Amino acid sequence: MFLDDLRFSLNATMPVFLMMVFGYICRRIGLLDEHTTSKVNRFTFRTLLPALLFADLSKADFRTVWDSKFVLFCVGVTLLSILTAGAYSLLHKDRAERGEIIQASYRSSAAVLGIAFVRNIYGDSLMAALMVLGTVPLYNIAAVTVLSLTSPEKKGDGKRSLARNTAKGIATNPIILGIVVGMSWSLLRIPQPVILERSVSYLANMATPLSLIALGASFRTSEAKGRVRVTVGIAFIKLVLFCAVFLPAAVYLGFRGEKLIAILVMLGSATTGSCFVMAKNLGHKGAITAFAVMLTTLCSAFTLTTWLFLLKTMDLI
């Protein structure tokens, strides 16, 4: 039984992280450079992941799949995670870096790793899509707010600029657009021509491996200098604390199987690489964010396997 549960956990996590290791090796031996990796990340985020979500959601019966309790749980836990990250940031003396600490502590790779894990275990990403729907808008609102308020390069537009940046970030987020279009297609029961279905499936099938390879190729070991203590704290909050606090609550509320896996990834996956892009765009140095992405991604290979093993041994998934 023990070996069966361990084999299940490793089968779910190791293929995901081996793709990231492969991407890192490609970077190290020169098959991928920084420019190419940046372009692949952008291409995957803007086209392949939305296509994957559309492919899954547009063919689902959304009236059956929709779960308000699950989505509201994801929203509530995300809010509490942001507040916890904000409290941790107050321990850091440099106010200009607090925004980076907050964002890196709460913002998960919900789209990339969430979809990868759920599809790897269950074959589709419907619950991951609902989880993304409940978290990504809040991720964007909180990120733009805290990074703008703590930016060393504050601009004079004030609240109007903050609201405009937040609204634009949500309205133009490709992941959100993929979910909205997929849900609408399903609810309106629009038939899919074979040509469209196969074309979208080609894009969708590339999304998970390519996004993981690009994420692995993005590692920068040089970002660690002088940032170890604060980033270790971020990694502990991101990978251990949130899971230890909120997973029991999810179990108590009756979430099991695919939903519990989606919640696990929401709580305990690595800090998403898009944090660095947003931090830089809003005037921050990005050093803490870059190291947090690297450290949490490395450590999550072990922590996610452990959490998954615990859930499996308790017969919750």
Q: Tell me: the pLDDT tens digits for 170-185?
A: 677 787 788 788 878 8
How many folded domains does the chain comprise?
A: 1
pLDDT band at 10 (very low <50, low <70, confident <90, very high): confident
pLDDT of residue 163: 65
CA atoms within 13 A on the CB side of 185: 20
pLDDT of residue 81: 93
The model's pLDDT over 239-286, given as tens digits with 9 standing for 90+, comes to 999 999 999 999 999 898 888 888 998 898 888 777 776 777 677 777
243: Cβ contacts below 8 Å, ≥ 6 apart = 264, 267, 268, 303, 307
The model's pLDDT over 47-90, given as tens digits with 9 standing for 90+, comes to 887 887 788 777 767 677 778 899 899 999 999 999 999 999 99
The model's pLDDT over 188-245, given as tens digits with 9 standing for 90+, comes to 888 888 888 888 888 888 877 887 787 778 766 665 566 788 889 999 999 999 999 9
pLDDT of residue 30: 87
> Is a pLDDT exceeding 70 seen at residue 113?
no
Q: Provide the residue range defining the domain that includes 230.
A: 2-313
> Is a pLDDT exceeding 60 seen at residue 317?
yes
As a whole number, mean pLDDT of residues 93-98 equals 81
The model's pLDDT over 122-166, given as tens digits with 9 standing for 90+, comes to 666 567 777 877 787 788 778 878 887 787 765 545 556 666 766
Mean pLDDT lowest among 18-22, 213-217, 282-286, 300-304: 282-286
DSSP class per residue in the chain = -HHHHHHHHHHHHHHHHHHHHHHHHHHHTTSS-HHHHHHHHHHIIIIIHHHHHHHHHHTS-HHHH--HHHHHHHHHHHHHHHHHHHHHHTTSS-GGGHHHHHHHHH-B-TTHHHHHHHHHHHS--HHHHHHHHHHHHHHHHHHHHHHHHT-TT--TTTHHHHHHHHHHHHHT-HHHHHHHHHHHHHHTT----HHHHHHHHHHHHHHHHHHHHHHHHT--GGGGTT-HHHHHHHHHIIIIIHHHHHHHHHHHTT--HHHHHHHHHHHHSPBPTHHHHHHHHTT---HHHHHHHHHHHHHHHHHHHHHHHHHHHTT--
pLDDT of residue 85: 93
Mean pLDDT lowest among 27-36, 120-129, 301-310: 120-129
CATH of the domain at 192: 1.20.1530.20
Q: Which amino acid is at 75?
A: V
Q: Does residue 29 contact residue 157 with C-beta atoms inside 8 Å?
A: no
pLDDT of residue 225: 61
The length of the chain, given as a count of residues: 317
As a whole number, mean pLDDT of residues 104-112 equals 80
pLDDT band at 112 (very low <50, low <70, confident <90, very high): low
pLDDT of residue 314: 87
Between 190 and 290, where is the model more confident?
190
pLDDT of residue 44: 81
d(CA 55, CA 199): 10
Query: What is the distance between the terminal CA atoms of the chain, rounded to a whole angstrom?
Result: 14
Tokens found for residue 102: 């907050």
Going from the C-alpha of 283 to that of each of 115, 173, 189, the distances in angstroms are: 30, 20, 44
d(CA 9, CA 180): 32
